[in-house]
């Protein structure tokens, strides 16, 4: 029995039929089905709560084992929160992307796919850092001080992912710590180091050209009225654009046919490939993050042993 298509827009189906192999976009439907299947299995509710540091330090002096149990549980809950909150974002954005594709809302679609790409790249960045730190933690469960050093690094890494902002007053005055947010290009360029994602910066820049009030966002509403066939066009492979000499001097709020069904071919390749790459990045990050599990430290520092020994006298 053939499964129902998640994409119902006729223009997109026509594009995939005519140019899917050339533009490498035939994976769109399978990728969407795969990620929705993955996301719909995630919890619909998550909790992110930590004991205040001063209370934990007091407990550590009274009952070191209990304090360590709480700390160990909270670290893994923090790791779970990272993939949980990113799953919420991805699911919401992907549902919106599919709706916009099917209804032909292509202009705002660029912005929403860009949001999803940013979430995916930020998540990827955090997951890779956390994986390395958790590995070091688990190698040092018999060395309390080394374990504590790595666990503190893990907490800071997670904090810099889940509690960041560019609003200065929020960073300065918030009761709970808020870090200054990195520029998104930090994450984009980090992701681009992996060979299969090397073009992520090019795709991101294209999405930005439509999202910002730049040339592409204006030309989205234009129609080509004349091509100068006697002049050669220019293609720029690195930037994935082609320039054809001609006229595009009429702009429509709602384009009439035949432009309405054919003009999306100018940008659907970039849109769909950006989406497919973002799905791959997010899926890799989610599966990698869910595998992370910090083991409990089994070592007790000497000063705690001395304190406990004195308490029993």
Pairing relation of β-strands 250-251 and 222-223?
A: antiparallel
Residue 47 has pLDDT above 50, yes or no: yes
5-45 per-position pLDDT tens digit: 899 998 888 888 887 676 667 889 999 999 999 999 988 88
Residue 283 has pLDDT above 90, yes or no: yes
Q: Which residue has the higher pLDDT, 115 or 264?
A: 115
The pLDDT, as a whole number, for residue 274 is: 94
Average pLDDT over residues 148-160: 91
Find out whether 124 and 285 touch, Cβ atoms under 8 Å: yes
Q: If you average pLDDT over every residue of the chain, what do you get?
A: 84
The pLDDT, as a whole number, for residue 221 is: 84
Percentage of residues of the chain with pLDDT beyond 90 = 44
Find out whether 127 and 121 touch, Cβ atoms under 8 Å: no
Q: Which of 186-195, 212-221, 254-263 has the highest mean pLDDT?
A: 186-195
The pLDDT, as a whole number, for residue 217 is: 84
Alpha-carbon distance of 81 to 165, in angstroms, equals 18
Residue 295 has pLDDT above 80, yes or no: yes
- Residue with token string 């050669």: 232
Count CB-CB contacts under 10 A for residue 99.
12
50-88 per-position pLDDT tens digit: 777 788 778 877 887 887 888 888 889 999 999 999 999
Residue 309 has pLDDT above 50, yes or no: no
Average pLDDT over residues 290-311: 69
Q: CA separation (Å) from 77 to 46, 150, 272?
A: 9, 17, 35
Q: Which residue has the higher pLDDT, 2 or 126?
A: 126
Average pLDDT over residues 122-139: 95
The pLDDT, as a whole number, for residue 241 is: 58
Domain boundaries, the chain: 27-197+269-312
Task: Name 222's bridge partners.
Answer: 251
Q: Which of 87-96, 151-160, 289-298 has the highest mean pLDDT?
A: 87-96
The pLDDT, as a whole number, for residue 310 is: 46
218-253 per-position pLDDT tens digit: 888 877 777 666 555 555 556 555 555 567 788 888
Residue 215 has pLDDT above 60, yes or no: yes
Banded pLDDT at 311 (limits 50, 70, 90): very low
Residue 313 has pLDDT above 60, yes or no: no
- The pair of structure tokens assigned to 311 is 């308490």
The number of residues in the chain equals: 313
Banded pLDDT at 312 (limits 50, 70, 90): very low
Find out whether 225 and 244 touch, Cβ atoms under 8 Å: no
Alpha-carbon distance of 182 to 203, in angstroms, equals 20
């Amino acid at each position: 029995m053939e499964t129902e298509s998640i994409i119902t827009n006729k223009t997109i189906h026509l594009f995939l039929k005519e140019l899917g192999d050339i533009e490498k976009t035939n994976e769109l439907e399978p990728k969407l089905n795969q990620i929705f299947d993955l996301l719909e299995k995630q919890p619909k509710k998550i909790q992110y709560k930590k004991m205040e540091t001063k209370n934990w330090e007091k407990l550590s002096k009274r009952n070191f084992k209990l304090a360590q149990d709480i700390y160990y549980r909270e670290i893994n809950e923090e790791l779970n929160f990272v993939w949980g909150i990113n799953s919420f974002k991805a699911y919401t954005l992907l549902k919106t992307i599919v709706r916009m594709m099917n209804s032909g809302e292509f202009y705002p679609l660029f912005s929403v796919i860009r949001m999803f790409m940013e979430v995916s790249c930020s998540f990827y960045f955090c997951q890779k850092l956390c994986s390395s730190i958790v590995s070091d933690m688990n190698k040092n469960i018999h060395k309390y001080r080394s374990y504590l050093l790595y666990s503190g690094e893990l907490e800071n890494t997670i904090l810099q992912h889940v509690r960041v902002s560019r609003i200065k007053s929020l960073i300065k005055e918030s009761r709970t710590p808020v870090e200054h947010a990195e520029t998104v290009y930090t994450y984009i360029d980090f992701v681009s180091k992996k060979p299969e994602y090397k073009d992520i910066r090019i795709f991101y820049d294209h999405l930005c050209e439509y999202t910002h009030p730049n040339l592409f966002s204006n030309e989205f509403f234009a129609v080509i009225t004349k091509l100068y066939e006697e002049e050669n066009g220019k293609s720029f492979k690195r930037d994935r654009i082609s320039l054809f000499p001609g006229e595009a001097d009429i702009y429509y709020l709602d384009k009439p046919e035949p432009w309405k069904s054919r003009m999306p071919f100018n940008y659907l390749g970039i849109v769909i490939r950006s989406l497919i790459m973002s799905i791959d990045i997010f899926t890799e990050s989610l599966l990698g993050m869910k595998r992370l599990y910090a083991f409990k430290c089994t070592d007790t520092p000497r000063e705690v042993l001395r304190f406990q020994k004195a308490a029993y006298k």
